[in-house]
Amino acid sequence: MTAKIPKKARSVHHLYCEGTRKRFTLIITLTALLVISAVISAGIGTVSITPADTLFAIGQGSQQIMDSALPSLQGTIILPVPGNPQAGIIVNNFRLPRIIIAILTGMSLAVAGTVMQGLLRNPLVSPFTLGMSSAAAFGAALAIVIGPGIAATLFFLSYESWIVLFAFLSGWLSMLLIYGIARSRGTNQATLILAGVVIGYLFQAGVLALKYLSNNDKLRELTTWLMGGMWGASWDAVILLIPCCIVCFLILESMSWDMNTLAAGDDVAKSMGINVERTRLFGLMVATFVASCCLAFTGIIGFIGLMSPHICRMLIGNDHRYLIPASALLGALILLVSDTAARTILSPVEIPVGIVMYIIGGLFFLYLLLRSKGRGLY
């Protein structure tokens, strides 16, 4: 009997520790890949910069910020200066904000997708398939067309936060509509997706109407923006997005166990003391907010929200404590690589990142469909 207890203890303990190790390995690997990709991405483009110069340039930029923030320390730390004198300007003013926006957007869309799939217990939902992306795009387009106006001045909103506000409100409206339809018709998986597609079209109609109604300058701004891309990247956008993303990620991460429990079904989750409706609505609201914030700067970018949670779930399972960060990192990596490809493949001409993403995403979706042959997708 005494020999049996340690063996007993080893089995599930062993499995759990093994799983945790695997999950940490994935998260660390993805983090490393993301950092390396960011440095390489900052180096390539019309002007090539060596990775060392890129790092020196980032150091130079940080030193400037530090010097202006803490003038008393000026001159105490001297970092090496890049050999290429233009490197500092190119990296810090143009490429770095774009890279950070790509990372934040990839993370937000992936996290939003993971959370939506977990909360709605439907593996096919994502900001894109639920029409939320189109809705957020409509909101942002509306904000661009009507301009900041008096309301924004009254509430001391910058142009960027004005767009974010509209994108969020419109995205949230679409989520409420879809959730309402799904609830009144029963949360059937197909109903949810169909409702999402229909609502996506309605908002796309709105976007088309706005394009039709707007004048030449606005139309140009709208069209480039709607194609999806990192053109809107600037330090202002980065400063606005970073706190939004951090707060939202932490909130959603803290809901991990509730999402894990929801996988057991609404009834079981309720019997385990979880307020299912409140958890779901709150989680969806935070996910919509973080996704629409980023979409407001980048236009519609699809598939990351669907793709990265799936890949991560296949690799490390369904525990949201690890799934959310892993999926965020993978989403960031995919978008960063796609965006770097989009701006360098035909350099100096940039192609919209959407094109690259849809090719990758479409192929992935096909793979999912073909792989599931014979056993049903879900």
Partner 1 sequence: MEIIVSQLTKPYGDIPAVTGVSFEVHPQEVVALVGPNGSGKSTLIKTMATIFSPTSGTVTFDGEDIFTADPADLATRVGYVPQHFTYTLYTSVFETILLGRRRHIKWSVSAEELTRVQDALDTLEIGHLAAKNMDQLSGGERQKVFIARALAQDPALYLFDEPTSALDIRHQIDVMEIMREVTRSHDAAMIIAVHDLNLAYRYADVVVMLDHGTRVGYGKPANVLAPSLIEQVYGVTACMVENEYGQFLLPVRKHEPV
359 binds partner 1 (CB under 8 A): no
Choose which of 3, 154, 314, 349 interacts with partner 1 (CB under 8 A): 314
Residue 220 vs 371, nearer CB to partner 1: 371
Choose which of 51, 83, 147, 265 interacts with partner 1 (CB under 8 A): 265
> Minimum Å distance from CB 269 to partner 1?
9
**Beta-carbon count within 10 A of 23 CB:** 20
Q: Give the per-residue contact string, 204-243, with partner 1 (x = CB under 8 A; - = no).
A: ----------------------------------------
343 binds partner 1 (CB under 8 A): no
* C-alpha span between 234 and 190 (Å, rounded): 40
Residue 29, C-beta contacts closer than 8 angstroms, at least 6 positions apart:
none
273 binds partner 1 (CB under 8 A): yes
**Residue 228 is encoded by which pair of tokens?**
């999806």
46 binds partner 1 (CB under 8 A): no
Residue 110 vs 210, nearer CB to partner 1: 110
Residue 255 vs 342, nearer CB to partner 1: 255
25 binds partner 1 (CB under 8 A): no
118, 262 in Cβ contact below 8 A?
yes
> Minimum Å distance from CB 317 to partner 1?
5
321 binds partner 1 (CB under 8 A): yes
Q: Among residues 218, 17, 255, which one has the least CA distance to residue 116? A: 255
> Minimum Å distance from CB 12 to partner 1?
4
Choose which of 33, 66, 84, 123 interacts with partner 1 (CB under 8 A): 123
Choose which of 47, 89, 264, 363 interacts with partner 1 (CB under 8 A): 264
369 binds partner 1 (CB under 8 A): no
250 binds partner 1 (CB under 8 A): no
Instruction: Provide the sign of the torsion angle of the four alpha carbons 169, 172, 174, 176, taken in this order.
Output: negative
How many residues line the site for partner 1 (CB under 8 A)?
A: 31
Choose which of 23, 95, 98, 121 interacts with partner 1 (CB under 8 A): 121
> Minimum Å distance from CB 123 to partner 1?
7
Choose which of 267, 349, 370, 373 interacts with partner 1 (CB under 8 A): 267
Residue 142 vs 315, nearer CB to partner 1: 315
Give the footprint of partner 1 on this chain (CB under 8 A).
Answer: 8-9, 11-13, 15-16, 19, 121, 123, 257, 260-261, 263-265, 267-268, 270-275, 313-314, 317-319, 321, 378
